[in-house]
Structure formats: C-alpha cells, structure tokens
Structure 1
Amino acid sequence: MADVDAIVDDLQAERAELDAAVSGVDADQWHRPTAARGLRVVDQIAHLNWTDELVIRAIRAPDRFAEEVDGVLAAPHATESINAGSAFVNAGTVQRSTWPRSRLLATWRRSADELSAILRALPRGTRIPWFAPRPLSAAAMAAARVMETWAHGQDVFDALERPRRPTRRLVHIVRLGVRSRDFAYQLRGMEPPCAEFRIELRAPDGELWTWGPADAPDRVTGLALDFALVVTQRLHRDDADLTTEGCAPEQWLGIAQAYAGPAGAGRERIGS
C-alpha cells in the first residue's frame, strides 16, 4: 500500500521549491516565455493552480465532477476526447493568467495547501474521478500532482535560467512514466508491445531503480533524470542519456508521456 503522507510530503517539497523560484521574480521574468509552446511563467503557475482546484472539486463532489468530465469528454474518439479535456483545462489557465501576480500566487499557495490536507485525510480506498481511463487512488493522484508540478516547474526553472538539483522525488515521475507505457501507444492508435520492458535507471543519489523482469530482452537503461524529462516531454529522446536494447523500447521513448493530456509534439533537439 502506497504511503499517501510520504507522497504528499514530496508534493509539498516540490511546490516549495517552485514557489521559492517565482516569489522574487520581476514583471519581465513573470511574463517570460517558457519552452512549452504558448506558455509563459505566469501561465505555468496559473495552470498548476487551476488543476489543483479541479482535483479539490473532484474529491469534494465526485459525482458532479464525473458528470462534468463526461460532458467535456463526450467526443466519439479517444484523441478528440482528450483534446477536449485539454481545452477545458486551458480555459481555466487563461483566466487565471490575467490576475495580478500577488493574487495568483496567494491563490495557488492556498489551493495547494488545501489539496495536500484533503489528500492526507481521504479514507483508504477512496477513488477520485479524473481525466483518465479510471478513477485514481489518493496516492496515484498525489503522485500525478508531483509529476505535473515538477514538469511545469522545469519549464519555469529553464525560463528563469536557474539551476535545479534533481532529487529522489523523481521516483514518482519515473514510476508514472513506466506505468503509462501502454497509454502512450493507445493514445496514438498504436498496439502496445505484449512483453514487459526491463527499466534500469540511476537515481540522483546513485541508487539503481528497476522495473520489469530482470531477463527481459527489451531494455531501457540510463539516468532517472533524463527518463523523467523524456516522459514529461521536456527533453527530446535523442538528447537523453538513455540506452535501449530492442526496437520496441526505442519506439516507446519517442512517444512516451506520463500525463493524461493529448499527444504533444514534444521538444525539439537541443541546438536544432
């Protein structure tokens, strides 16, 4: 059983790191473009605030939220449905990005603290409706929030040209990336591989993180940081310190994504 409190602790640490990065920025930095197409630093924070509030709504009124999501995702095809969900989330982001910086930061901090408290207090076995094929457990939702905060935070740190030290919190992003392998294929109308892959990644502290059968012929090895950047589409696969054995893992790294949004174009190669 996943330790929800431990994951929420990591979520709060991830948010605190990002908060410290944006708290003292000037107006130019606040509106500086990030590598995510069409998103400035302010938009990244607005997106995190809006999605935190959506999770709170999903927990407090799951039936009503599920009905709302069903209406948004009523498109007949999976890709169209996911695109509709993305448009719904983007609408809330755009609204918040027009707020004064002090208001947005205060609202983001308040909603983040509220969500953390709610996730900790949820009874064991609670399932949360979301823009995913199945409702999420509290632990899975907390891990997803770590992933999204870290990924959008990476865009912010890069835009502000500030260094960022990788931590063991990457395990949540890496685990989601591994578990979402088949989703990445299905999103693109492709048949997922039948066999499991062996994943061996070096953590920031030197520990080896592994998933899948030890004797699997299809393998991915390398740095956990680079894998996390690839599965959140913050780094082009060709720029990542990752090695594959077999054809299927190489194809997967080209389409991998750890989030439930539409299939994006990813990032261009460095220097292109």
Structure 2
Amino acid sequence: MPDPVVITRPAAQAAALAQRVAAAGHEAVVFPLLAIDPLPDQSALRAALADVSPYALVAFVSPNAIDAACAIRSEWPREVTLAVVGEGSRAALARHGITDANATIVSPANTRRTDSQTLLETLDLDRLRGGRALIVRGETGRELLGDALRSAGMQVQQLAAYRRSIPLLDDDRRRQLLRLLDADSLWIITSSEALRGLIGMATQAGGRDCVVKLQQKRLLVPHERIEETARELGFSSVALTGSGDEALLAALQFRG
C-alpha cells in the first residue's frame, strides 16, 4: 500500500484533487482542515451582484468566494475586470464557464506567491484609479487588498460571502488523525489558517508527542506565505510547489 497523501482542502474542493492523486498511484486521504459555510443572510451580496456595471473591478479572494458569487450571478461583462489570487481561483471560474475567452481576468504572474500583494503588482492601478471595486471574501480575512486599492484611489466595497471555521475533532476524526500521524504520510496544505488549526488538532489528539510527529511530516504547499507559516510552526520538510493542482501533482510525482 503506498504512503497516504493527505488532502486538507475544504470537503467540497477536495474530491477532484483526491481523484487525480489516486489516479497517479497514491493513496488519497481527504482530511479537511477548514469548513466553509454560507452566511445566513446573502441579501447584501445579492444586491451588489444584481448589477455589476458600476464596478471597474470585482476581486475574489478564494475559490469559495467565486462559488458563492457564481451561485448568484452566472455572466460577467467583459468591461468589468475580474481579479483572482491563484490558479485554483482561475480553475473555479472555469468550472462556472468563465474564462479569458468571455471575461477579463487578472491574476498574479508569480505563481509561487499568489496573494493580494502580487495581485496588486499585476493590476493596472492607474487605469482603475477613481473607479469602484467590489471585493468578495470570507467573513474574516486580511485587509491588504482593500487598503491598497483605496490607497490607489479606488472606492472599495467589501462583502462577505461565506465563513470559515476549523472542523471539530470528533472521535472519528481523532482516530483518523492518529493513524495518519503514525503513517509516513505526506500532507498537501493550501492554507496557513488550516495549518495552524492542524497543530491545534494534533495538540488536542495527543499533546506534545502528536505535535512532534506532525512536525516531522512532509508538506507540499502552493504559496510562499504558507511555507513561511510552516517553518514558523516547526516543520522542516516543506516543498513549495507553486499555485494550482498541476503544480501540486508534478511535485507529488517528483517526490514519489
């Protein structure tokens, strides 16, 4: 039996990658580290998306934001720039039929650091100055993008579309986590918040001994910021792959 490859994305986003990992000959284990839930009141988001023509820019901070917005609106006028921060978000747009062929999409050129800062470096801020921007995001998150767009002279509206939380470590998940910690498992980590939550789960499951076992695991991470978080949390075997499933799978095959 091959060593398990642990996919830690939210449950709704993990299945496709798990299938590809299994097809490549690995044991794919889905162990979500974040739960994504819609906000009970979507009225503000629905009102904003009813007519997007006043916006020069609509930015989505994650695939979850895209899924929430596209559940409300399926077509996006080409004159409104859609901004995303990674290849996973481009893929999410494509799943909803939104591509460069029918929309104006901007994403960071540096696929190893796909975050708000590198998105800002890609945007034509001079052209956008004076216009309106809508940021579709989670209930909590970094303020860098909104603050930077305001500094560039844009009027910024931020709307929450979902909330993130660390799943409860019930008895079944605790047993699964302990099995994975005892195995020679490799972990795909796509969120700094999720990795911090995993440290908390290991502590809850077995204290310091479990945390030490976890810190010895191999990690594949798509962004520099997650790599930095992993190093700060005591992980020593961390491979930076770049953004998107293709980069993750290529790194997985290389590591064997």
* TM-score for the superposition, normalised by structure 1: 0.27
Find the structure with the greater CA-based Rg. 2
* TM-score for the superposition, normalised by structure 2: 0.28
